[in-house]
Amino acid sequence: MPDAVTESQYFAKAVSQLGSERGMQTNRPVMGANGIKILDKGARVTPRLYERLVQHHPTTPLQDAIEIDAAVSGKNLRAIGEELLDSNLVFSRMAEKPEDRKLLLDCLEAVPLPTAIVFQLTVVRDVHPGQFRYFVATALTAVWLGNRPQAMRNDLVMLAAAGLLHDLGMMHIDPVLLEPSAEISPEQRRQLYSHPLVSVLLLERHSEYRNEMLRAVREHHEVLDGSGYPAGLAATAIGPWGRIVSLAQVVASLVRPGRSHALLRLSVLLRTNRHRYDNALINRMLPLLQLRPGVDTEPTDTIDNPVADPVRHLKAIHHALRGWPDALAQDMRLSAARRSGLVSIGERCARIHRTIIESGVAPDQLQSLDADSITGLLADELSLITRELAWQLRAVEREARRRWAATAGEKLPENLAVWANEVETVCADLVDRSTSAVVQSEKI
């Protein structure tokens, strides 16, 4: 495995944040690049010394050679899993039956943890505790989604491992990418898109992890419509376990502590993104997100930045979608590449239109609503749906401009320009980087 991955400067900086009180010692001699022994077995390693060792590029992988006090273990994972099952409504619903609770926790505790993985997980736990809880939450969700009739326990343990370790590569890239609101440069975006591959590089040398598990880690940001990364896989090119972890990490990210209206936000995301995630898995998850009359208390606060008059905005989105110039794709004067691109954009518009109908927010479905009836949870739900659909529509419009690839001095055809300008106007007050739950979840 390349040293740049195993002993990255970013991970070394995370280790340096552990503090001098955290005990670390070598479990074997550490050899330098010139074959000279740098440290004996049993030597004490401080965070500052670790950082210096990385700069000397030892031939002995440091994460294999260093043991850390009070390290992550299966029992630690189980304890955090129990806390999540007891404190989070979504996870408690996954474990309402005692046998389901036991299965989730048993699989989590049984995840294989080689020395190098223990070391990295311990650093994540101590330096980024919120990220570590998200790892555990993803593992629990992956097991729950994969627990179908005739499921083999070892398969579920491997799914737990994929969920727990899928983002290990994030510790080896620029830490600014861990900040959901950070602006990302093109180079940082390339790093972000590479992190599933970095995770695989960190895991594949450990024989404890099966090929199906490694594939799921590699595919955890691939989505069914081909818009994911790092390979842009689509449909059946994504494996069953990849589909599970792809959805599990979204669930875990959106139900983190402090997320207001988490159940509603996740429900809206799943219902408006059926083209991205496995529908059988979505249908299994949605019942967990419903408020139960007489059991759950309806939230009294409203979502941040609600949409004023969402019905008007939804009608405008619908009108813009119906205004897509389909005939342009049949213009034989255009190049084959441009016609193909226009067909693809038309299909995406049609897909968003289907989502509008399936979500119950088409104009004829909204006729019975007036301003007085749009209050409480209904107002919140319509606001979230409006912003998500506006984000999807604006993304399609940007893609249409990119696919047309106008040459210097060339203008868009008039009907395409009119449509693009209408979309920009419709989405202007509805879209920014913070409004799409998909954008939020994919920076994790």
- DSSP letter at 68 equals E
The per-residue pLDDT for range 69-81, each reduced to its tens digit, is 999 999 999 999 9
303 in a domain, yes or no? no
Cα–chain center distance at 152? 26
Residue 83 and residue 51 in one domain: no
Q: Are 205 and 169 in contact (CB under 8 A)?
A: no
Residue 7: pLDDT band with limits 50, 70, 90:
low
Domain boundary among 11, 33, 68: 68
140 in a domain, yes or no? yes
301 in a domain, yes or no? no
Long-range contacts at 348-351 (CB < 8 A, ≥ 24 apart): 348/396, 348/399, 349/321, 349/324, 349/396, 351/225, 351/275
Per-residue pLDDT averaged across 135-153, rounded?
97
162 in a domain, yes or no? yes
- DSSP letter at 44 equals B
Task: Decide: pTM greater than 0.95.
Answer: no
Residue 40 and residue 161 in one domain: no
Separation of alpha carbons 345 and 347, rounded Å: 5
Q: Quick one: tokens of 30? A: 């550490």
Select from 184, 197, 71, 195 the least CA-distant residue to 126: 71
Domains in the chain: how many in total? Answer: 3
Residue 34: pLDDT band with limits 50, 70, 90:
confident
The average confidence (pLDDT) of the chain is 90
Residue 5: pLDDT band with limits 50, 70, 90:
low
Domain extent at residue 21? 3-68
Least confident of 101-105, 232-236, 438-442: 438-442
The per-residue pLDDT for range 365-402, each reduced to its tens digit, is 988 877 677 888 889 999 999 999 999 999 999 999 99
Per-residue pLDDT averaged across 122-149, rounded?
96
Q: In this prediction, what percent of the chain has a pLDDT beyond 90?
A: 70
Residue 18 and residue 146 in one domain: no
**Bridge-partner residues for 396, per DSSP?**
none
> How far is CA 37 from each of CA 1, 26, 41, rounded to the nearest angstrom?
21, 12, 10
Q: Quick one: tokens of 49? A: 């010394």
Residue 90 and residue 221 in one domain: yes
The per-residue pLDDT for range 194-214, each reduced to its tens digit, is 999 999 999 999 999 999 999
295 in a domain, yes or no? no
> How far is CA 208 from each of CA 108, 186, 419, rounded to the nearest angstrom?
15, 35, 54
226 in a domain, yes or no? yes
